Chain A
């Protein structure tokens, strides 16, 4: 359960196609649990990076007389400083300003998601403000990062599924023709009696 001030992401959920969902399920048993864990780990890594980056500066600052002894409060102290800037603020201050980062949002939007779809996190994703801020210390756009993580895992599941089962289909004498589309091949693989997602 997320406590404190909360950032609410993807209020209406994250919609994936049926095929994308099958690709996710090939590689993770519970896509929502996987993505939740991925965000939690990203928070931890960026909070640790923030603290490691700022520790020498805090130690060298004579105006700092004591520091919180837990990482969340320490991160909050760092991010409340006048000389702290988020990634977006740092990029804007560059000359010339750093342009936008990976455009995962556009990659997500480029796929038409009509017909049969699956909505992950239909009530959205809650993230404590301090946790979101730790990510935003390094990442330009939190939603964009989540889209990138999701699309990366969909792609990984798809490619691993096809790499595993395409040779099996080619060697199967009972199969005479194969669909000529990626989606068709994935549906054919899932329908096989010997199909198993990774990990069984």
Chain B
């Protein structure tokens, strides 16, 4: 018995003495004339096109936006959880359509966030925006949003964070504005957007 390299369907399958090899090691390059497809029978997973473009159709990642203005969420020091009703993408079905991302696998996740405040008063001198994960909370503090608001009493802040998450951990976005009354709203659409991606 020797080596053979194809199964009965003509697909590449490395066999040693009739037994399918558990792994293969190449000491040089593997040069494919077409796509390399890994996972789920080639339909998803990692795909490398013949032009070298790498796509990962099932890689956990989401992009969501606010579907409506959220009114009177904060302003008096009480906090609220932001809601994202519009899903642009949710590649692995990990966002619940409302507020919560659940990590499907343990890893480091890059989160980017745009928060558009409106209805700010001059007295609103402190706001916090938090990535609230199961293992830790990343708190971003913004001083004097009331002082830096535009003529529409609005301002927009961008945050990023890489969060270590275990499988089945959750993450939400919480906001809290202080030193005024509870009249701070959060705008609808792409100005209020949250994106997350599994880095590895």
Contacts of B79 in A (CB 8 A): 99
With A159-B93, A163-B93: A102-B172 Cβ-Cβ less than 8 Å: yes
Main SS class of interface, A: helix
Instruction: Say yes or no: A98 contacts B168, CB within 8 Å.
Output: no
B174 near A139 (CB under 8 angstroms)? no
Chain A residues whose C-beta falls within 8 Å of the C-beta of B172 in the assembled complex: 102-103
CB atoms of B135 and A148 under 8 A apart: no
Among A149-157, A172-180, A184-192, the stretch that binds chain B is A149-157
| A-contact bits for B171-192, CB 8 A (1 contact / 0 none) | 1101010000000000000000
CB distance from A49 to the nearest CB of B (A): 8
Asked if A101 lies at the interface with its beta carbon under 8 angstroms from chain B, I say: yes
Please determine whether A41 and B171 come into contact, CB atoms closer than 8 angstroms: no
Nearest first, the 5 A-B pairs at minimum CB distance are: A152-B102, A159-B93, A149-B168, A148-B170, A102-B170
Residues of A within 8 A of B (CB): 38, 41-42, 45-46, 49, 91, 98-99, 101-104, 107, 138-139, 145, 148-149, 151-153, 155-156, 158-160, 163
Interchain residue pairs with CB less than 8 A apart (12): A42-B166, A101-B134, A103-B172, A104-B100, A107-B96, A139-B135, A149-B102, A152-B103, A152-B168, A153-B102, A155-B102, A156-B104
Seen from chain B, the residues whose Cβ lies within 8 Å of a Cβ on chain A are 79, 81, 90, 92-98, 100, 102-104, 106, 132-137, 139, 166-172, 174, 176
Given contacts A42-B168, A99-B79, 18 further A-B contacts (CB under 8 A): A38-B167, A38-B168, A41-B106, A41-B166, A42-B166, A98-B137, A99-B176, A101-B134, A102-B133, A102-B170, A139-B135, A148-B134, A148-B169, A152-B102, A152-B104, A152-B168, A155-B93, A155-B94
